[in-house]
């Protein structure tokens, strides 16, 4: 059904655009892929939030390393080098129904890339859509601080209310710790009936204590973040991609005007296959015994050598295929003759042949 719809679409395109098509003929059109280089930089953001009662932390709780001012710092973690596949609209390939090949066996995906011949389309992975209201289950309800009446009243006092409230909070912390100790020692008259209930009670006491202690110590939050950088080069003269990024502990990724920032250098060299294509074309003209080509083309990709430096130290390197810097090669027509047709799987990323079986 999908192939049939593709046929109808290409017939319709024939009547609208005659750049690559012949009017009045049934045909199928697919494209070679092209590749963009993608760099995924990973870094950590660390946020320190000062405690409301930080100045009393050592006096009331004996805590010496309380956070007394808000601060955000960044730590560089690394980079991954990858690729992203797109359709190369400058390299269309047409298969006419009149060429004698079983052309309806060609599998083209919804982006117009050749993925197989004489193979059933691979099923798509569908992401599970959450049921209505399910997204609310991922949102934690606001945790109200376990303030007692004494703590609230201390906060409403005039001069010295901050100290008074800190003292009241410290007393509540000690009460929670005492309650937990009594529970663990079995010294509570109405203790939880079973182990599971006991664990729930202890868990809630730990939560309350943590919330109150953070009013003195402050809070540290860590989050992993990403910065994506990419390039989709095209053209015979495009041979290098060089870029400089800047990263600092105070600002994360920043501009070149930050003199204290570390330098991240991106060097990518693209290896073309155009000369090989020209040479193969010349040989094909001279070779009279060369097999008759079919309209089904596979791609021999070029490549990119990607290097990433951090302050002149090489931290990542990778060779990745670059489809648009490769050459299109036809499969021999004799491969598609006979009673048993081949099963061919093509790479969506490079356009190359993955496997041929009969």
Per the prediction, the chain carries an average pLDDT of 82
* Confidence tier at 56 by pLDDT (50, 70, 90): very high
C-alpha 34/C-alpha 37 separation (Å) is: 10
For residue 24, pLDDT beyond 80: no
Share of the chain above pLDDT 90, in %: 54
- Ramachandran bin of 49, using left for φ above 0, alpha for ψ from -120 to 50, beta for the remaining angles: beta
330 or 144, greater pLDDT: 330
Average pLDDT score over residue span 225-253? 93
DSSP 8-state secondary structure symbol assigned to residue 136: G
CA 341 to chain centre: 39
Average pLDDT score over residue span 290-314? 92
64 or 121, greater pLDDT: 64
| CB within 8 Å of 325: residues ≥ 6 apart | 233, 270, 271, 272, 273, 274, 301, 302, 303, 304
C-alpha 46/C-alpha 71 separation (Å) is: 8
Distance of CA 95 to CAs 28, 31, 252, Å?
Answer: 5, 11, 51
Question: Which pLDDT score is estimated for 20?
Answer: 46
Is 106:31 a contact under the CB 8 Å cutoff?
Answer: no
CB neighbours of residue 6 within 10 Å: 20
- Helix, coil or strand: residue 156: coil
C-alpha 330/C-alpha 62 separation (Å) is: 78
Q: What is the dihedral of CA 172, 175, 181, 185, to 10 degrees?
A: -150
For residue 16, pLDDT beyond 90: no
Handedness of CA 83, 84, 85, 89 (dihedral sign): negative
Is 50:67 a contact under the CB 8 Å cutoff?
Answer: yes
Q: What are phi and psi of 102, to 5 degrees?
A: -70, 75
C-alpha 72/C-alpha 64 separation (Å) is: 21
130 or 171, greater pLDDT: 171
C-alpha 334/C-alpha 46 separation (Å) is: 63
Summarised one tens digit per residue, pLDDT across range 152-205 is 666 666 556 888 888 999 999 999 998 888 888 877 666 677 778 888 888 998
* Confidence tier at 343 by pLDDT (50, 70, 90): very high
For residue 37, the cross-strand partners are 83, 231
């Amino acid at each position: 059904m999908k192939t049939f719809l593709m046929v109808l679409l290409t017939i319709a395109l024939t009547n609208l655009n005659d750049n690559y098509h012949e009017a009045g003929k049934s045909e199928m059109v697919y494209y070679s892929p092209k590749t963009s280089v993608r760099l995924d930089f990973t870094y950590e953001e660390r946020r320190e939030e000062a405690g409301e009662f930080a100045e009393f932390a050592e006096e009331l709780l004996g805590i010496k390393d309380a956070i007394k001012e808000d601060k955000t710092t960044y730590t560089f973690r690394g980079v991954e080098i990858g690729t992203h596949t797109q359709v190369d609209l400058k390299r269309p390939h047409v298969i006419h129904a009149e060429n004698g090949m079983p052309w309806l066996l060609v599998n083209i995906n919804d982006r117009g890339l050749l993925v197989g011949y004489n193979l059933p389309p691979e099923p798509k992975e569908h992401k599970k859509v959450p049921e209505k209201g399910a997204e609310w289950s991922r949102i934690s309800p606001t945790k109200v601080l376990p303030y007692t009446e004494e703590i609230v009243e201390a906060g409403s006092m005039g001069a010295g209310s901050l100290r008074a409230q800190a003292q009241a909070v410290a007393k509540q912390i000690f009460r929670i710790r005492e309650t937990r100790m009594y529970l663990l020692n079995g010294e509570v008259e109405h203790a939880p009936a079973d182990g599971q209930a006991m664990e729930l009670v202890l868990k809630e006491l730990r939560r309350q204590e943590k919330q109150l202690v953070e009013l003195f110590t402050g809070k540290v939050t860590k989050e992993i973040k990403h910065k994506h950088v990419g390039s989709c080069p095209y053209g015979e003269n495009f041979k290098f991609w060089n870029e400089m990024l800047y990263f600092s502990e105070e600002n994360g990724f920043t501009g070149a005007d930050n003199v204290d920032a570390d330098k991240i250098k991106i060097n990518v060299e693209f290896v073309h296959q155009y000369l090989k294509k020209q040479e193969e074309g010349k040989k094909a003209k001279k070779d009279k015994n060369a097999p008759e080509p079919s309209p089904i083309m596979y791609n021999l990709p070029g490549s990119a050598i990607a290097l990433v430096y951090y302050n002149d130290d090489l931290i990542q390197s990778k060779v990745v295929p670059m489809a648009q810097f490769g050459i299109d090669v036809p499969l021999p027509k004799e491969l598609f003759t006979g009673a048993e047709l081949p099963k061919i799987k093509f790479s969506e990323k490079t356009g190359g042949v993955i496997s041929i079986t009969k």
